[in-house]
């Protein structure tokens, strides 16, 4: 599977422009023949723009996700809509891909296939309380879905979830061998950002792809460094903190080779 980790510029005061930049990144990446384009956490609003959450919240059929569904279809490419602020009260329908929730707001990532159809909806489980308003503004998710895409079983976690390895073990038990991690990871915790996803890849002998934004907020600057880690924990491709698209290839057969060569998962007790 050819991946494009779209580390787009995110500006808190330019929601429409952020979505435009996301669409442009999808179009450029699709022109290079990728299978999946992944976007950062709260790419349209900006994670640290807490005062914009409520006014820009929308349901799963809202404008932002509708535009990205169309972009997936128009460009014949799967798209991870990194996450948006979801208005749970606007999400009422139920499909096999997700279950509607109660009222409130959630940090919600949606994976569309190349036909623009929703295949996975993930609401961030672990809400960040350290110097963040997220815990006071949002409702934590409870479901941990996976879906098949491009020869992989794909799961999604979001940013702070990286600090909770038990969530990745649960994804492993559900068959996930590629985990996408849209994020808004800030300075100064660069070493954490590079170490935690590598550890999750090593522990579970799986691919882990981190997709960060490039942004300067009033009180925070994102570290960028979006990266694909292979099942050995080796960075396949990465970048710095400037706007960029990281292109990398993940091979589902590599999962079997690594797990056969180093069968640590067989020794779990």
**Minimal CA–CA distance to 7: which of 178, 248, 240?**
240
- HSE, CB side, 13 Å, CA atoms: give it for residue 93: 8
The tokens for 79 are 């798209």
CB 242 within 8 A of CB 10: no
Sheet with 36-38: list strands edge to edge.
118-123, 105-112, 78-87, 36-38, 2-7, 244-249
Dihedral through CA 153, CA 65, CA 77, CA 120, nearest 10? 10
* DSSP symbol at 89: G
Strand partners, 107: 85
**Distance (Å, whole) CA 246 – CA 102:** 36
- List, by residue number, the catalytic residues: 41, 124, 159
Number of residues that make up the chain: 269
State the Cα–Cα distance between residues 186 and 219, nearest whole angstrom. 10
- Which two structure tokens, joined as six digits, stand for 211? 């997709």
3-state helix, strand, coil in the chain (%, to 5): 30, 25, 40
Residues 180, 173: Cα–Cα separation, whole Å: 16
Distance CA 219, CA 86 (A): 24
CA–CA separation, 231 and 90 (whole Å):
38
């Amino acid at each position: 599977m050819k991946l494009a980790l779209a580390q787009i510029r995110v500006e808190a005061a330019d929601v429409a422009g952020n979505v435009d930049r996301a669409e442009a990144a999808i179009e450029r990446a699709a022109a290079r023949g990728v299978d999946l384009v992944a976007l950062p956490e709260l790419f349209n609003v900006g994670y640290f723009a807490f005062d914009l959450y409520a006014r820009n919240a929308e349901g799963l059929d809202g404008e932002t996700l509708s535009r990205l569904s169309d972009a997936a279809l128009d460009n014949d490419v799967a798209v991870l809509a990194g996450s948006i602020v979801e208005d749970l009260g606007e999400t009422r329908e139920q499909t096999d891909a997700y279950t509607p929730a109660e009222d409130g707001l959630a940090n919600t990532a949606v994976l569309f296939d190349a036909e623009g159809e929703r295949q996975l909806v993930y609401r961030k489980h672990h809400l960040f309380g350290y110097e963040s308003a997220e815990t006071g503004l949002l409702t934590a998710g409870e479901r941990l879905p996976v879906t098949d895409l491009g020869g992989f079983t794909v799961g999604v976690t979001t940013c702070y979830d990286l600090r909770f390895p038990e969530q990745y073990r649960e994804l492993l038990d559900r068959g996930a061998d590629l985990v996408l991690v849209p994020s808004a990871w800030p300075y100064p915790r660069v070493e954490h950002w590079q170490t935690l996803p590598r550890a999750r890849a090593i522990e579970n002998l799986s691919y882990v792809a981190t997709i960060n934004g490039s942004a300067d907020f009033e009180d925070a600057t994102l570290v960028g460094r979006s990266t694909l880690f292979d099942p050995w924990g080796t960075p396949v491709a990465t970048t710095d903190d400037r706007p960029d698209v990281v292109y990398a290839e993940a091979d589902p057969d590599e999962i079997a080779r690594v797990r056969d060569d180093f069968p640590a998962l067989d020794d779990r007790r």
